[in-house]
Amino acid sequence: MTARTLYDKLWDEHVVHTEDDGTVTLYIDRHLVHEVTSPQAFEGLELAGRKVWRLSANLAVSDHNVPTTDRSQGIADPVSKLQVDTLDKNCDRVGITQFKMNDKRQGIVHVIGPEQGATLPGMTVVCGDSHTSTHGAFGALAHGIGTSEVEHVLATQTLLAKKAKNMLIKVEGQVMSGVGAKDIVLAIIGKIGTAGGTGYTIEFGGSAIRALSMEGRMTVCNMAIEAGARAGLVAVDETTINYVKGRPFTPGTDPQTGQFAGGVEWEQAVAYWRTLHSDPGAHFDAVVELDASQIKPQVTWGTSPEMVLSIEDRVPDPDKEKDAVKRGAIERALQYMALEPNKALADIRIDKVFIGSCTNSRIEDMREAAAVVKRLGGRIASNVKLALVVPGSGLVKEQAEREGLDQVFKAAGFEWREPGCSMCLAMNADRLEPGERCASTSNRNFEGRQGAGGRTHLVSPAMAAAAAMQGHFVDVRRIA
């Protein structure tokens, strides 16, 4: 048999039918649903008199529009309230399992899927959300879909799709202490650009990726979409299997006790999952290599994730750019970001800090940020008006509180909030005011992303926490 990539294997396993032009009907194992992209899909289904094809394949949650404070008061903003209420009504009506706003299992859709074991190796996972690429960390074929496709999946449990090309991004070696998954993926995007992965499914491999926890792998795959690829993948290994074991939706978990019970279904699943890696000699259409030991803590300076440099660098000088198009883009970005050319990134002072989003709101991210806060001691800098920590789910929040991380944050002047997308894109009350500058652990730094006129610098949780404490960006490798 010819050697296949992981992507080839996942694809082949889910093809139901192939048209002459190569369009495939692909079976979808898991459909995650949130409040922003589902209302028209449910409406379309109802108007057509169709039923949901396979209820148990769906899991829904509201995350973008939920408030992160005073939840007992309900949702004050009428637009957000309508979105959340609509998802509640639709799920209740058709019978889709949903974690409602005050359920402690609620959280960002890309955090709760894996946390519940709803995302498993070998699955096809879709959601009306571009950061569905996150779930590829499990060796699952996962990508975002549009609202009309949400309706198609609800009605048929399939999707019409065309196969992408295979790209391998190999990160070999060991990262320096203080450098993590977020720095790796920002460095990748800095290297290949936001269109570098367009038309490809990216498999992330190499010893530095294998050394990452599942949380770290999710951070990397989360941003595959920012590199232009709809889907990112990491091969299954023992780290993957240990993570999924005993989760509520994982085979082998006793539904009565919620404990791991094992059994034949679990054994068979594990045996299959262990085949989910690229075969030796499998063909990749493109291969990119990075040396992990050379990656420094990253900070974005512009209005696209590819506008990224290391903490040791300076804001680019457009006058040094010969290409007119690139020069124009740098000039526009610097103007929006109100940055002087050649200013050291470490001298940029910030107004707000956001630790959260589907990129960096898992327990490990909370630990990483809290460890920096603890090490530096004292309180957030006086120029920092607001430092938000927004755990990715109620269960992450609960775990962090068991470990006393909330106390570490609160004692230093951070706000400890309820789970949701929050200031990642400001669909709720958490936002930047015009002109405010933010150190953010999220994934997009587009103009106005965190509030009209707001200025976003993407960084790791450790870098965000350090910036909060010192009021400007600092090299976390020095805080040892």
Ligand X SMILES: CC(C)[C@H](C(=O)O)[C@@H](O)C(=O)O
Instruction: Pick out the residues of the known binding site for [4Fe-4S] cluster.
Output: 358, 421, 424
Tell me the CB-side half-sphere exposure of residue 136, using CA atoms within 13 A.
32
Q: Applying CB under 6 A, does 131 fall inside the site for ligand X?
A: yes
Q: Applying CB under 6 A, does 38 fall inside the site for ligand X?
A: no
**Interface segment toward ligand X; rule CB under 6 A; list 96-104, 127-135, 189-197, 264-272:** 127-135
Q: Extract the tokens encoding 414.
A: 């951070």
Q: Applying CB under 6 A, does 64 fall inside the site for ligand X?
A: yes
User: Looking at beta carbons only, is 131 or 417 nearer to ligand SF4?
Assistant: 131
Q: 56 CB contacts (<8 Å, ≥6 apart)? A: 97
Report residue 415: phi and psi, to 5°: -95, 135
Complete DSSP assignment for 82-131: HHHHHHHHHHHHHT-EEE-TTSTT-B-HHHHHHHHT-S-TT-EEEESSGG
CA distance 427 to 437: 18
Binder among 236, 424, 459, 467 for ligand SF4 (CB under 6 A)? 424
- At closest approach, how far in Å is the CB of 113 from ligand X? 14
SS (H, E, C) 255-290: CCCCCECCCHHHHHHHHHHCCCCCCCCCCCCEEEEE
Asked if 105 contacts 395 with a C-beta cutoff of 8 angstroms, the reply is yes
Q: Applying CB under 6 A, does 36 fall inside the site for ligand X?
A: yes
108 binds, among ligand X, ligand SF4, none (CB under 5 to 8 A by kind): ligand SF4
Q: Applying CB under 6 A, does 64 fall inside the site for ligand SF4?
A: yes
Q: Applying CB under 6 A, does 352 fall inside the site for ligand SF4?
A: no
- At closest approach, how far in Å is the CB of 27 from ligand SF4? 24
Residues of span 106-135 touching ligand SF4 by CB under 6 A: 108, 110, 129, 131
Write the binding mask 414 to 433 for ligand X: x where contact by CB under 6 A, - elsewhere.
-----------x--------
Asked if 364 contacts 400 with a C-beta cutoff of 8 angstroms, the reply is no
User: Looking at beta carbons only, is 64 or 135 nearer to ligand SF4?
Assistant: 64
Residue from 158, 165, 164, 169 nearest 191 by CA? 169
Q: Applying CB under 6 A, does 129 fall inside the site for ligand X?
A: yes
437 binds, among ligand SF4, ligand X, none (CB under 5 to 8 A by kind): none
Asked if 14 contacts 66 with a C-beta cutoff of 8 angstroms, the reply is no
Report residue 247: phi and psi, to 5°: -80, 155
Binder among 65, 130, 134, 298 for ligand X (CB under 6 A)? 130
Q: Applying CB under 6 A, does 366 fall inside the site for ligand X?
A: no
DSSP helix/strand/coil, 410: helix
Under the rule (CB under 6 A), what is the footprint of ligand X? 36-37, 64, 129-131, 144, 425
Under the rule (CB under 6 A), what is the footprint of ligand SF4? 63-64, 108, 110, 129, 131, 357-358, 421, 424-425, 442-443
